[in-house]
Amino acid sequence: MDIATIGGLVIGIGAILTAYTMEGGHLSAIFQVPAMLLVIFGTLGAATITTSISNLRNIPNLLKIAFSRKELDNQGLVDEIVSMAETARKEGILGMEKYLKKIDRPFLHKAVQLVVDGTEVTVLRGILERDIDNLTERHRVGIMLFQKLGGFSPTLGIIGTVLGLIHALSNTGNAGKMATSIAAAFIATLWGVALANLVYLPICDKLKRRHEDEVQSLNLIMEGVLGIQSGDNPRIIRTKLTSFVTPEIKT
């Protein structure tokens, strides 16, 4: 599990609940089913119009990506590619075939297989770039979904508040009941804004970060394999690929 994602949610939600109780509020006043239903399912309904059912079904997978901690180990990837480059320099391109059974990264496996098959450099680059573009498009759909949820949620909260105020103003004859209804009406806005800024938008940014990290690794693989296919010196390949490794790992 990703400690940063879980810790951020705990700190953010905890700060709101703690501040509310310190001011004398009761948590039971926040958890109102009508407001929660309107904001959560109203937001999902609005988002459904802009996307497809298949994308909504993918939400659990997107949450798994956001909450899981996946180390890409780019430095280890550089070492692996340089090792293959050294083999190719000594034994020829076909000497890399022995690595295919050991490679567990699908993109790297495909790239090495294309090199072993004798694919021309320009064709190889085109195929790999197309794969990266396709992956980017798939990731973009998930990122945009949570971005839309973050945009719709506050608006649905306001709608819930307006409906609550309409109900409150219909009780002008009872001042006490009207005051209680007005207070309850703003719970919907609280849920809308809180879900947008503590859940939907942070997860959207987390998915963007995951995507950027993965694309960086894929570009590293592509440049390394293209270097091998072009016959570059392994030392030159290592120098080029090191630029894809974060400063913390380089040191």
Domain boundaries, the chain: 32-72+127-242
B/e letters for 142-161, b = 16+ CB within 10 Å, e = fewer, are bbbbbbbbbbbbbbbbebbb
Regions of the chain where pLDDT drops below 50:
249-251
Question: pLDDT tens, 54-93?
Answer: 888 888 898 888 888 777 788 888 998 999 999 888 888 8
Q: Which of 8, 11, 5, 109 is nearest to 65 (CA)?
A: 5
What is the residue type of 192? G
Tokens read off for 239 = 């120098």
What is the residue type of 133? D
Output the pLDDT for position 143. 93
Output the pLDDT for position 251. 42
CA gap 8, 159 in Å, rounded:
28
CA gap 133, 48 in Å, rounded:
25
Q: Which of 220, 234, 60 is nearest to 146 (CA)?
A: 60
* Helix/strand/coil (H/E/C) assignment for every residue in the chain: CCHHHHHHHHHHHHHHHHHHHHCCCCHHHCCCHHHHHHHHHHHHHHHHHHCCHHHHHCHHHHHHHHHCCCCCCHHHHHHHHHHHHHHHHHHCHHHHHHHCCCCCCHHHHHHHHHHHCCCCHHHHHHHHHHHHHHHHHHHHHHHHHHHHHHHHHHHHHHHHHHHHHHHHHCCCCCHHHHHHHHHHHHHHHHHHHHHHHHHHHHHHHHHHHHHHHHHHHHHHHHHHHHHHHHCCCHHHHHHHHHCCCCHHHHC
Output the pLDDT for position 226. 92
Output the pLDDT for position 20. 82
End-to-end CA distance of the chain: 26
Model confidence, pTM: 0.82
Q: At what angle do helices 234-242 and 74-91 cross, to 10 degrees?
A: 160
